[in-house]
Amino acid sequence: MRVAFVGKGGSGKTTLSALFSRHLARSGAPVLAIDGDINQHLAEALGGVEESAPPLGAHLPEIKDFLRGDNPRIPSAEAMIKTTPPGRGSRLLRPLGDDELHARHVGRAGGVPLMVTGEFDESDLGVACYHSKLGAVELYLGHLLDGPGEYVVVDMTAGADAFASGLFTRFDMTFLVAEPTRKGVSVYRQYRDHAEQFGIRIAVVGNKVTGEDDLLFLKEQVGDDLLTHLEQSPWVRAAEQGRTAPGPDALASLEPHNRHALGVLREAVDSHPRDWDRLHRHAVELHLRNVRAWADARTGEDLAGQVDPEYVPGPAAPA
C-alpha cells in the first residue's frame, strides 16, 4: 500500500511520514520510506542516517533501463517518460525485493529502509525542475507490485506543488496534514478539488493540535474528511533536539494520543484494498495527457503506443 503525506509547508509532513513509518516498522510490517521533497529531511526525522544510498534522481536513465526490461513498446530509456506505464516485458518489482534497484538505492535511517530522490542541486538550476527527479519515484511506484500489509510511505513537496507531477495518482491513500489555521486548511481545499477529479482517496490529519478550540476549528473547516489528529508533541520536540533514542522502539514513549492516531492512519490505509484496474486506468489516462501535452513533441515519437492495451500490472499480470 502506498501512502503520501502532503500539506502546507511546515505543517508536519516529514514528521508524520517518519512517525508513521516507524510505527509500521515497529509492528514488524515491511515498510519503505521515500523522501520526495526538495529539501531532504526525512532521514533526520527518522532518527538519522545509518546507511546512505545514492539518490534516485541522479540515476534516472539507469532506472528507466532497468524498469523497461525487454518491453518491446519501450525501445530506449530516452523514449521512457515518467508516466510510461509498464507492459509485457517490463520489470515489476516487489517492495524491498531482491533486485538491482533496491540493492542500489535503499539505505536506512532510524531502523527504517529509506530511498531518497535527492536534493535539487546547483546543476539543476535553470535546466531541470524537481519534478524530473520525482519522476523516478513515479516510475518506481508505477512498476511496484505491492500487496496488503506492505507499505511505501512518501514525504512529498509542500503545497499544491505535489499536483504538478502525476505522482499524486499513484497512492492508495493521501494524508493531508493540516494545522488548525486558515492557511493550514487552504491547501486542503485545493487538494480536495484535484483529488475528486482523479478519484483519489484523501484524508485530513490535523497536526499540532493544542486543545478543544483547535479541534473544533478543524472539524468546522474540514468536516468528515478529518480522519484524526496529532497533538502538539513534547516527544517530537525532544526528538528534534536529539533527546530520544533512535529506532522504532523509541515510539513506545510517544504520547498515547499520538500513538493512537498513528494506529488510526494505518487502519484507514488498510481498510480499502487496492483496485489495480482503476489504478492502471488512471496511470494510462495521465500518460496520454502527458503525451499530448509535451512528450510526443519532445521525443519525436508516438508515445501513446507505449500503452499495452491488454495489460494491467498486478498479481495477475502476464509475465
Binding residues for ligand ATP, rule: CB under 6 A, are 7, 9-15, 37, 39, 41, 158, 207-208, 230, 232-233, 236-237, 240
83's contact among ligand ATP, Mg ion, none, with CB below 5 to 8 A by partner kind, is: none
Please, is 208 exposed, middle or buried when counting C-beta atoms within 10 Å of its C-beta (0-12, 13-18, 19+)? buried
Nearer to Mg ion, 4 or 67 (CB): 4
Note the residues at the interface with Mg ion (CB under 5 A).
Answer: 13-14
Q: Which position's Cβ is nearest Mg ion?
A: 14
- At residue 112, what are phi and psi to the nearest 5 degrees? -115, 130
Q: Are 174 and 168 in contact (CB under 8 A)?
A: yes
Q: Spell out the alpha helix ranges (H) of the chain.
A: 13-26, 42-46, 60-68, 100-105, 130-142, 182-198, 212-222, 234-240, 256-270, 276-290, 296-299
Whole-number Å distance between alpha carbons of 245 and 102? 27
Residue closer to ligand ATP, measured from CB, 42 or 106: 42
By beta-carbon proximity to ligand ATP, the closer residue of 86 and 184 is 184
Closest to Mg ion by CB, 10 vs 30, is: 10
Q: How far is the CB of 229 from ligand ATP (least distance, A)?
A: 9
Would you say 34 and 115 are in contact if contact means Cβ atoms under 8 Å apart?
Answer: yes
Taking the complex as a whole, the smallest distance from the CB of residue 64 to ligand ATP amounts, in Å, to 28
* Minimum separation from the CB atom of position 4 to ligand ATP (A): 12
CB 174 within 8 A of CB 20: no
Of 70 and 182, nearer to ligand ATP (C-beta) is: 182
Interaction partner, residue 144 (ligand ATP, Mg ion, none; CB < 5-8 Å by kind): none
What backbone phi and psi angles, to 5 degrees, belong to 183? -65, -40
